[in-house]
Amino acid sequence: MSEWYYAKAGQQMGPVPLSKLKELLESGGIDPQKDLVWTSSMKDWLPAAQVEGLGKPTAAPVADPSNPYAAPQTGWNERAELSTAAGELAEIVPGSQPFDAAACIKRGWELTKRNVATIVLTGLVYVGIMMGVGMVIGVIGVLVMGGSQFQIDPETRQLTQEVAPAWFQILNQLITQLVTTFLSLGATRIALNIVSGREATVGMLFGEGSKLLKAFGASILFGLMVAIGFLLLIVPGVYLALRFGQYMTAIVDKDLGVIDSFKYSSSITTNNRVNLFVLVLFGFLLTIAGLLACIVGVFVVLPIIWLAAVVAYRWMQYGNKAAMDHPGTAIPMLAPRA
């Protein structure tokens, strides 16, 4: 008797016999249009409705011609396949398959375990560079202020810290932001490759320099936009952050310009902004748990959150298959099967 696997919200389940699979279909435990199934005789996962003997696809609802905002009536699986960095998966209609935050966290944990060495080395190099830059800026600051950052107040006779000149503070912030953006671009590339089943190396941390200026400009614009939103009773700021927050990943993934990266983020986050908020909440709770675990837990939690965010990005692009492996392998479905 053949064994079947099925996937709901990106989570693989099974094996179960064919009779059990049919029971789940009849009882509504499996949605024949949305949930995927696979058995050893199949090349890849398919919606249950497309598998002979399991069910017939229901007719698509008729579009309202008077509604210019109506979604296309073809299913996401009927769109042309794309030969892109995501293997042979087809990009879905934005918002047609909202991601599952818990499934993204689970996938982030699985990918973290598979790529421990790369993640640890990347983290050490990242932190080391940021510490080095901070030390260099600190030394320059001492020289700028005449060899000491402290002085005796002539009136109170107390030791006070001298404030650096305004121009130096601005320069400090500019350099720090540039370095942070540069490293963030590289870290995003590494995360995209890990999630997509591609080669990921520490050297990629320095491989996205050509995108630095537009990413830096986009980060300034994003920061201003969100800051203004937070001044308007907080909620608008949260909304803007959720809607446009995928801009950096889009710049790395698709080499988009500043405005196009915001447009793309706005598009793929359709029907996903609440889920993004839930994902952020999960990340916050995991971080708190890591801090409570003698702080050491944070070093385990941060990579999970980092990769979960990119899993969510890929899910918004390619659907729940982005959080799954090829059947019987540890190869993400975003990568061509060997």
What was the pLDDT predicted at 75?
A: 33
Please tell me whether residue 3 adopts helix, strand or coil conformation.
Answer: strand
Least confident of 127-141, 240-254, 298-312: 127-141
Give CA–CA dist 7/320, Å, rounded.
9
For the chain, what percent of residues have pLDDT higher than 70? 82
Instruction: Place 249 in a pLDDT band, splitting at 50, 70 and 90.
Output: very high
As a whole number, the mean pLDDT across the chain is 84
For the chain, what percent of residues have pLDDT higher than 90? 56
What was the pLDDT predicted at 60?
A: 44
Instruction: Place 48 in a pLDDT band, splitting at 50, 70 and 90.
Output: confident
What was the pLDDT predicted at 146?
A: 60
What was the pLDDT predicted at 15?
A: 82
What was the pLDDT predicted at 163?
A: 64
What was the pLDDT predicted at 70?
A: 42
Asked if the model's pLDDT at residue 194 lies above 70, the reply is yes
Please confirm whether the linkage preceding 327 is cis (ω < 30° from 0). Answer: no
Per the CB < 8 A criterion, the answer to whether 325 and 337 are in contact is no
Look at residues 254, 250, 282 and name the one whose alpha carbon lies nearest to residue 269.
Answer: 250
Mean pLDDT of 78-104: 72
Asked if the model's pLDDT at residue 71 lies above 60, the reply is no
Instruction: Place 323 in a pLDDT band, splitting at 50, 70 and 90.
Output: very high
Asked if the model's pLDDT at residue 79 lies above 50, the reply is no
The model's pLDDT over 254-280, given as tens digits with 9 standing for 90+, comes to: 999 999 999 999 999 999 999 999 999
Tokens of 250: 């889009």
What was the pLDDT predicted at 87?
A: 52
List of domains in the chain? 1-57 (3.30.1490), 108-320 (no CATH)
Instruction: Place 147 in a pLDDT band, splitting at 50, 70 and 90.
Output: low
Instruction: Place 65 in a pLDDT band, splitting at 50, 70 and 90.
Output: very low
What was the pLDDT predicted at 85?
A: 45
Higher per-residue pLDDT: 267 or 44: 267
Higher per-residue pLDDT: 20 or 208: 208
Least confident of 99-103, 140-144, 259-263, 303-307: 140-144
Can you say whether the dihedral through the CA atoms of 270, 111, 323, 202 is positive or negative? positive
Look at residues 217, 228, 311, 293 and name the one whose alpha carbon lies nearest to residue 259.
Answer: 217
What was the pLDDT predicted at 6?
A: 83
Look at residues 6, 191, 171, 205 and name the one whose alpha carbon lies nearest to residue 108.
Answer: 191
What was the pLDDT predicted at 83?
A: 38
Give CA–CA dist 144/142, Å, rounded.
5
